[in-house]
Amino acid sequence: MDSNTRDDLLDLFRSKFNRAMKYYLETCTRCGVCTEACHVYASTGQTKYIAAYRHEIIRRLYKKYFKARGKIWPSVGEAKILDDVAIEELYDAAYSCTGCRRCMLYCPFGIDTQMLMSIAKLILIGASAEPEILTMLADTSVEKGKSLDLFKDGFMMGVKRLEAQIVEKWQVEAGQTAIPVDVEGADLLYVALAGAHSIIPAAAVFNAAGENWTLSFFEAVNFGAFVGDPTKTKLILDRIINEATRLNVKEVCVCECGTAFRVMKQLSGKQPFKVSSITDVHARYIREGRIKLDKSKFTQTVTYHDPCQIARNGGVIDEARYILQHLTDHYTEMSPDPRYNWCCGGGGGLVALGDETLDFRMKSSRVKVDQVQATGAKILTTACENCHTQLDNLNEHYKMGLEVRFLSSMVAEALVNGKHPGA
């Protein structure tokens, strides 16, 4: 690595500095309390996956280049040169961390590993060593935001096809559009993912609840956040913020996507609209009596996997349980304390990387499999696309014999009002 490249990468490192980051870079005492926190360590027993070890990979570079010590006495903190080997190490640390932040519950100081890993991810982008596919996907999303008109027609055709499927199964009031799009003054903008499973059940519930809603042109997922590119994260987020502002909606409801929800809820700053997850909204409909659910639909034991970005990091915990109380009499908790729920092992862009990470994802999530199996549940439900894919993969790989479901689709299936009799 030549010195110009290194300087550029160190500039990227510096660009991540803020007060919190400085605290995290200066403080770790390497006490080892975080040892058992990471599901990857708990499943594989490899030291390099302990949170503090991951931190230290970043911190050693910090000590080398941003502390006087790195020049005077580098060995005292094992300060390390940023070279190609370091880049590989950064990759290994960043793309084995799902950003679940479970380790924050172990650290006496609450050091945020995801924050520190964001430095690694940004350096990887600078060194063109990030997973290319994530950057490509992020670029596609950004492009879509710039040239909405180009794909609008195709999008509308897709929506029409989905509407037909909705009308087949659920009642739609006369004069009501099954999937309203681009409705100015709607109360709620629903940001879905590309895929019928993210739109159809949600639409059925919105319609049953009599919601004045509209579907976003854009998919919720933020590949910019996965790859750790702050500029692209913002551009992808802004597409939705601009749409919500243009349509003057009161609320933006993010579909079952952990990253999208956390980015929208916590990264978008103060907005003139409220940000909710679809789990929030469904719980509210039940509470207000706007939808009613048939408890007899699900007679097998159901357990719920709290998506890290929605529960521990997003605060939507009780709402899911409220829904489940109204959905089934056979609910069983997965973890005595939802904060400590094991990550599914698919976050941080790992699931988006598909087969490339499959082997690692399966090996690194043994503790999740054990946790699910201990519940004895037959239906495993969750409220995040990534978690769902990963849990599905685990189910298959470990032959768990489960039915993996989206919580929203279970709600739609159990709808009493808004459903064709006998459907």
Partner 1 sequence: MQSVYYFIMVPMVYIAFAVFFVGISVKIVKILREPKQPMTLQIFPEKQPKWLWALHDTLLFPTIRRHKPVLWVFIMAFHICLLLLLIGHLELMADFAVFQIIPHEIFIGNGFVGLTLVVCLLYLIFRRFQSPVKDLSVPEDYYLLILLFLIVLFGSEMDWARRWYGYEELAVEDYNAYLLSLLAFKPELPYNTTFSGHSFMLVLHIFFANLLLIFFPFTQLMHSILALPMNKLRRG
Give CA–CA dist 259/222, Å, rounded. Answer: 7
15 binds partner 1, rule: CB under 8 A: no
In the complex, minimum distance from the CB of residue 134 to partner 1, in angstroms, rounded to a whole number: 21
4 binds partner 1, rule: CB under 8 A: no
336 binds partner 1, rule: CB under 8 A: no
Answer yes or no: are the C-beta atoms of 51 and 24 closer than 8 Å: no
Answer yes or no: are the C-beta atoms of 119 and 81 closer than 8 Å: no
Which one, 91 or 106, has the nearer CB to partner 1? 106
In the complex, minimum distance from the CB of residue 227 to partner 1, in angstroms, rounded to a whole number: 18
Q: Where are the beta strands (DSSP E) in 198-351?
A: 213-215, 251-254, 274-277, 302-305, 331-332
271 binds partner 1, rule: CB under 8 A: no
Which one, 51 or 200, has the nearer CB to partner 1? 51
What are the two backbone dihedrals, phi and then psi, of residue 107, each rounded to the nearest 5 degrees? -65, 130
231 binds partner 1, rule: CB under 8 A: no
229 binds partner 1, rule: CB under 8 A: no
Among 9, 58, 90, 107, the residue binding partner 1 under the rule CB under 8 A is 107
Give CA–CA dist 45/24, Å, rounded. Answer: 25
End-to-end CA distance of the chain: 63
Structural tokens at position 289: 């009596």
198 binds partner 1, rule: CB under 8 A: no
What are the two backbone dihedrals, phi and then psi, of residue 369, each rounded to the nearest 5 degrees? -60, -45
Answer yes or no: are the C-beta atoms of 169 and 420 closer than 8 Å: yes
In the complex, minimum distance from the CB of residue 28 to partner 1, in angstroms, rounded to a whole number: 7
Which helix (H) or strand (E) element contains residue 379?
Answer: strand 379-382
Which one, 112 or 251, has the nearer CB to partner 1? 112
In the complex, minimum distance from the CB of residue 177 to partner 1, in angstroms, rounded to a whole number: 36
Site for partner 1 in 36-65 (CB under 8 A): 36-37, 47, 50, 52-53, 56
110 binds partner 1, rule: CB under 8 A: yes
The one-letter amino acid code at 179 reads: I
CB atoms within 10 A of CB 38: 29
Structural tokens at position 71: 């020049």
Which helix (H) or strand (E) element contains residue 302?
Answer: strand 302-305
Among 12, 77, 245, 358, the residue binding partner 1 under the rule CB under 8 A is 77
Q: How big is the site for partner 1, counted in residues (CB under 8 A)?
A: 53
Strand, coil or helix: what is 319?
Answer: helix
What are the two backbone dihedrals, phi and then psi, of residue 288, each rounded to the nearest 5 degrees? -85, 0
Among 21, 254, 291, 391, the residue binding partner 1 under the rule CB under 8 A is 21
The one-letter amino acid code at 246 reads: R
Give CA–CA dist 114/21, Å, rounded. Answer: 11
CB atoms within 10 A of CB 315: 14
76 binds partner 1, rule: CB under 8 A: yes
Answer yes or no: are the C-beta atoms of 360 and 115 closer than 8 Å: no
- Options 186-194, 250-258, 307-315, 361-369: segment touching partner 1 (CB under 8 A): 307-315
In the complex, minimum distance from the CB of residue 53 to partner 1, in angstroms, rounded to a whole number: 6
In the complex, minimum distance from the CB of residue 57 to partner 1, in angstroms, rounded to a whole number: 11
Which one, 54 or 405, has the nearer CB to partner 1? 54
Which helix (H) or strand (E) element contains residue 275?
Answer: strand 274-277
322 binds partner 1, rule: CB under 8 A: no
Which one, 45 or 401, has the nearer CB to partner 1? 45
- Letters for 241-270 (x = contact with partner 1 by CB under 8 A, - = none) are -------------------------xx-x-
Which one, 17 or 151, has the nearer CB to partner 1? 17
Which one, 25 or 199, has the nearer CB to partner 1? 25
Give CA–CA dist 357/362, Å, rounded. Answer: 9
Answer yes or no: are the C-beta atoms of 328 and 304 closer than 8 Å: no
Structural tokens at position 380: 């495993």
343 binds partner 1, rule: CB under 8 A: no
321 binds partner 1, rule: CB under 8 A: no
Residues that bind partner 1 (CB under 8 A): 17-24, 26-33, 35-37, 47, 50, 52-53, 56, 67-69, 75-78, 101, 104-112, 115, 266-267, 269, 311-315, 317-318, 339
